[in-house]
Structure 1
């Protein structure tokens, strides 16, 4: 059973850290939003640190995250941004005290490494959601979805897909995140168990051939055959190749998973988009998919 951290209440402390790339802009507006939610915001050393392209050295970022993992007064940790760099520090972090006193860990993109590791190694729920770096561009709905989750309000998502889905109903524990980073976790101690799960995937800046290659790798490894459902989020900012691959990202994905009998939906509002809705990894969910209509709820 995957454990749920305590919900937040007004007055609780939330820490901001940067496990990967440095921040290229101020996040003061995001801090104000979190404070307006009634939270006390603690700024980690890594938030304004700089070491080449990273938010401080590997040692500084590791120490910063470790400090807040261990601090029992901190009730949630949200990553300032993603980028690249989390894989450089993941094996130096000790989650012993985190397991004893669970707290919400929040982020997406490169932070998928931490989310995957937390699910695999601690069996504690965590959140794939907007980060302070993306708050300014976020839809009100995406920010509201994060706020509702951390304060304990159960949610249902409903949307329409232009690309034809594979209808069906599936229930199971939700896992997922950035496709590239999930592939990077395969064969490591940070790899999640895919069997009997509802899997969601998203990615940004990858070309069709790369998406094809990564998904075929997961298929060959047996990661896709025993799912209860597959949620395809945003696959955007795909650079045009000199010679066309001949398929869109959606067509690439559908070609690989069409023979499975579980529900598959496309264009789910999650990923590197303004409307990046909060996804609770480790939560039990129900996915109802019709040809162009999708309903998703936490059980």
Structure 2
């Protein structure tokens, strides 16, 4: 169990992927400080190497330093983009496994969350500092605060026409569909058997969504789930010759042959309402005609 934060604790903000400037995260820094936390910034904040927040060596050093520093009680990834997979295999998690702490992020950070899951440790799929100023992000920030400080969270969601009813119990795992799919066969790959998988994505071509779902199914990632949560599939793209199905319809096609409960439209993903989820924690998913309830057992 990862210790809950308390006022006075130090947390670190780093960037493992796309570059980011200090002004872009000032709202988040002020928010964390209002919670009574001390914020430590990594060298990757404000650094620049082409697309990235510093070259691979700097971003790796930043992540390693914060993982090893016992005074840092949580690591918050500033933004996603791309870049975490470039450094993940060079990270030494020895000390982190001895003295675990919260790691927070989503999108490209799915790599880090999945890698940590294989150590039997929890992490948080939640809003990142870049997005704190977004209109409508307040509930997302509050759910992150509650989980960091050890408070209970229970989520209720409206029904969706594609939902498949039932109750599922299992560890909650997942994240960004495109990242989760590319982790197959790597050291960051995880088993989904008996687990509740959640998926979301942004700006993917619909034929790519189909290809990724085919791949996950062929890899056995869909067959033995306890349950499936589909979040936002935001700003999907199409080709000049239309693919002919929405992202939800594509996912429905590839999961329709299985019997576990599935919910669509869960508020997780690249939207202001991105409810924080504890990856690796035992959860219960209730899907009924009246709606959806997700709670931790």
Q: Does 1:141 align with 2:142?
A: no
Comparing 237-246 with 214-223, greater Cα deviation is found at: 237-246
Q: Distance in 1 between matches of 2:261 and 2:52?
A: 39
Residue number in structure 1 paired with 2:233: 235
- Relative to 1, partners in 2 of residues 1:159 and 1:9: Cα closer, same or farther, differing over 3 Å? same
Alpha-carbon deviations, 1:128-186, whole Å to 9, x = none? 00000011115221111000001011111001134330000000010000011111110
Match of 1:272 among 270, 273, 288: 270
Q: Distance in 2 between matches of 1:143 and 1:70?
A: 26
Q: Distance in 2 between matches of 1:184 and 1:239?
A: 19
Q: Distance in 2 between matches of 1:146 and 1:206?
A: 26
Residue number in structure 2 paired with 1:224: 222
Q: Distance in 2 between matches of 1:184 and 1:149?
A: 28
Residue number in structure 2 paired with 1:158: 156
> Would the aligned equivalents of 1:164 and 1:291 in 2 still touch at CA under 8 Å?
no
Q: Distance in 2 between matches of 1:38 and 1:240?
A: 46
Alpha-carbon deviations, 1:89-144, whole Å to 9, x = none? 11111000000000000000000001111112x21100000000011115221111
Can you give the 5+ residue segments of structure 1 that lack an aligned partner in the other structure? none
Give SS of 1:227's match: coil
Q: Does 1:23 align with 2:20?
A: yes
Match of 1:85 among 76, 83, 93: 83
How big is the alpha-carbon RMSD for the aligned residues of Structure 1 and Structure 2?
A: 1.0
Residue number in structure 1 paired with 2:98: 100
> Would the aligned equivalents of 1:163 and 1:267 in 2 still touch at CA under 8 Å?
no
Match of 1:54 among 37, 45, 52: 52
Task: Please state how far the C-alpha of 1:292 moved relative to its aligned partner.
Answer: 5.6
Give SS of 2:108's match: helix
Within 5 Å, which residues of 2 pair with 1:249-264? 249-264=247-262
Q: Which runs of 4+ in 1 moved over 2 A?
A: 161-164
Residue number in structure 2 paired with 1:193: 191
Match of 2:116 among 115, 118, 125: 118
Number of residues of Structure 1 aligned to a counterpart in Structure 2:
295
Match of 1:76 among 44, 68, 74: 74
> Would the aligned equivalents of 2:173 and 2:280 in 1 still touch at CA under 8 Å?
yes
Q: Distance in 2 between matches of 1:69 and 1:27?
A: 21
Task: Please state how far the C-alpha of 1:193 moved relative to its aligned partner.
Answer: 1.2
Q: Distance in 2 between matches of 1:77 and 1:244?
A: 42
> Would the aligned equivalents of 1:164 and 1:292 in 2 still touch at CA under 8 Å?
no
Residue number in structure 1 paired with 2:282: 284
Q: Distance in 1 between matches of 2:41 and 2:102?
A: 16
Q: Distance in 2 between matches of 1:190 and 1:164?
A: 31
> Would the aligned equivalents of 1:162 and 1:292 in 2 still touch at CA under 8 Å?
no
Alpha-carbon deviations, 1:218-275, whole Å to 9, x = none? 1111111110000000001112321111111111000110111100000100010100
Residue number in structure 2 paired with 1:130: 127
> Would the aligned equivalents of 1:16 and 1:77 in 2 still touch at CA under 8 Å?
yes
Residue number in structure 2 paired with 1:177: 175
Can you give the 5+ residue segments of structure 2 that lack an aligned partner in the other structure? none
> Structure 1 length normalisation: TM-score?
0.97
> Would the aligned equivalents of 1:141 and 1:277 in 2 still touch at CA under 8 Å?
yes
Q: Distance in 1 between matches of 2:160 and 2:113?
A: 30
Residue number in structure 2 paired with 1:8: 5
